Structure 1
Amino acid sequence: MQPHAGEAQIGGVVGGAHRALAGAIDDRPNSSNEASPSGAMQEPQVRPVVRAPSQISTVSQLLSGGIAGAFSKTCTAPLARLTILFQVQGMRADAGAMMNESPSILRETRRIFKEEGFRAFWKGNGVTIVHRLPYSSINFFAYEQYKMHLRRILGIEGNQESLGVGMSTRLVAGGGAGITAASLTYPLDLVRTRLAAQTKEMYYRGITHALVTITRDEGFRGLYKGLGPTLMGVGPNIAINFCVYETLKSMWVAKRPDLSPVLVSLACGSFAGICSSSATFPIDLVRRRMQLEGAGGRAQVYKSGLSGTVKEIIAKEGLFGLYRGIFPEYLKVIPSVGIVFMTYEFLKRILRPNAWDGL
Structure 2
Amino acid sequence: MSKKEKPLHSLIAGTTAGAVEAFITYPTEYVKTRSQFSGKRESPIAIIKNTLQTKGVAGLYSGCMALVIGNSVKAGVRFVSYDHFKHALADAEGKVSAPRSLLAGLGAGMMEAIFAVTPSETIKTKLIDDAKSPNPRFRGLIHGTTCIVREEGLRGIYRGLFPVMMRQGANSAVRFTTYTTLKQLVQGQGRIGQPISSFMTFGIGAVAGLVTVYTTMPLDVIKTRMQSLEARQAYRNSFHCAYRIFTEEGILRFWTGTTPRLARLVLSGGIVFTVYENVIKLIGGRQV
| Counterpart position of 1:146 | 85
1:277-292 to 2 correspondences below 5 Å: 277-292=213-228
| Counterpart position of 1:157 | 92
SS for the counterpart of 1:70 is helix
Task: Give the TM-score of the pair, scaled to structure 1.
Answer: 0.73
Q: Which amino acid aligns with 2:66?
A: V
Distance 2:168 2:177 in 1: 14
Question: Which structure shows the bigger proportion of residues in helix conformation?
Answer: 2
Q: Which amino acid aligns with 1:291?
A: Q
Structure 2 residue 113 is matched with structure 1 residue 182: yes
Distance 1:321 1:142 in 2: 33
| Counterpart position of 1:17 | none
Distance 1:137 1:124 in 2: 20
SS for the counterpart of 1:280 is helix
Distance apart, 1:220 and its partner CA:
2.3
| Counterpart position of 2:208 | 272
The answer (yes or no) to whether the contact 1:204–1:210 under 8 Å persists in 2 is yes
Structure 2 residue 63 is matched with structure 1 residue 124: yes
Distance apart, 1:219 and its partner CA:
2.4
Residue from 12, 16, 21 that aligns with 1:67: 16
Q: Which amino acid aligns with 2:83?
A: E
Structure 2 residue 179 is matched with structure 1 residue 245: yes
User: How many correspondences in the alignment?
Assistant: 281
1:180-329 to 2 correspondences below 5 Å: 180-185=111-116, 186-197=118-129, 198-199=131-132, 200-254=134-188, 261-294=197-230, 300-303=233-236, 305-329=237-261
SS for the counterpart of 1:300 is helix
Cα gap change, 1:271 to 1:191, in 2 (>3 Å): same
The answer (yes or no) to whether the contact 2:112–2:168 under 8 Å persists in 1 is no
Q: Identical aligned pairs, as a percentage?
A: 26
Distance 2:215 2:245 in 1: 18
Cα gap change, 1:346 to 1:213, in 2 (>3 Å): same
Distance apart, 1:201 and its partner CA:
3.3
The answer (yes or no) to whether the contact 1:293–1:302 under 8 Å persists in 2 is no
Q: Which runs of 5+ in 1 are unaligned?
A: 8-55
Q: Which amino acid aligns with 1:337?
A: G
The answer (yes or no) to whether the contact 2:9–2:285 under 8 Å persists in 1 is no
The answer (yes or no) to whether the contact 1:293–1:301 under 8 Å persists in 2 is no
Distance 1:226 1:326 in 2: 20
Distance 2:238 2:112 in 1: 22
Distance 1:106 1:211 in 2: 29
Cα gap change, 1:345 to 1:184, in 2 (>3 Å): same
The answer (yes or no) to whether the contact 1:229–1:283 under 8 Å persists in 2 is yes
Distance apart, 1:233 and its partner CA:
1.3
The answer (yes or no) to whether the contact 1:268–1:338 under 8 Å persists in 2 is yes
The answer (yes or no) to whether the contact 2:35–2:43 under 8 Å persists in 1 is no
Task: Give the TM-score of the pair, scaled to structure 2.
Answer: 0.91
1:94-128 per-position Cα deviation (integer Å, ceiling 9, x unaligned): x2xx24xxx42222111110011011112211111
Distance 1:108 1:340 in 2: 26
1:183-239 per-position Cα deviation (integer Å, ceiling 9, x unaligned): 012322211121233214322222222222112212222221100111111101111
| Counterpart position of 1:349 | 281
| Counterpart position of 1:81 | 30
Cα gap change, 1:353 to 1:288, in 2 (>3 Å): closer
The answer (yes or no) to whether the contact 1:131–1:188 under 8 Å persists in 2 is yes
Distance apart, 1:136 and its partner CA:
0.7
Q: Which amino acid aligns with 2:258?
A: I
Distance apart, 1:87 and its partner CA:
1.0
Distance 1:144 1:325 in 2: 31
Name the Cα RMSD after superposition. 2.2
